[in-house]
Amino acid sequence: MQDVADNVHIAGVLVRLAPGNCDVSDRLAQQAGVQTHIDDAATGQLVVTIDGPTLEAVRAIHEAIERVPGVVSAHLVCHIADPGSAESVRAGGAS
């Protein structure tokens, strides 16, 4: 059985922005472990993923996103602990 510490944790988050805050996507992209997949300026919503070595690391990034000026809410949509990605990350490859 694989140790949980060998997992990479990945979370999908729906971020809602206050009107006029379309630069938030760029600010989030500068944070380690955050990637924006959908940036819908018309609705003020972003879909981002957060990845980290532990659930606590992902939680800390999620909480930091909630505190970014211009963010109205950041709702966790899914969380996956992926053991296959851990090997790829350690090897320096993409998952």
pLDDT tens for 23-58 read 899 999 899 999 999 999 899 999 999 999 999 999
pTM: 0.80
State residue 42's pLDDT score: 92
Q: Which residue has the higher pLDDT, 28 or 1?
A: 28
Q: What is the CA radius of gyration of the chain?
A: 14
What domain count does the chain have?
Answer: 1
State residue 77's pLDDT score: 97
**Which band of pLDDT confidence, cut at 50, 70 and 90, is reported for residue 7?**
confident
**Mode of pairing for the β-strands spanning 34-40 and 45-52:** antiparallel
Q: How many CB atoms lie within 10 A of CB 52?
A: 19
Range of the domain at 11: 4-91
Q: Which has the closest alpha carbon to 11: 90, 95, 91, 75?
A: 75
Quote the CA–CA distance of 6 and 25 in Å, as a whole number.
30
User: 54: domain CATH number?
Assistant: 3.30.70.920
Quote the CA–CA distance of 83 and 20 in Å, as a whole number.
39
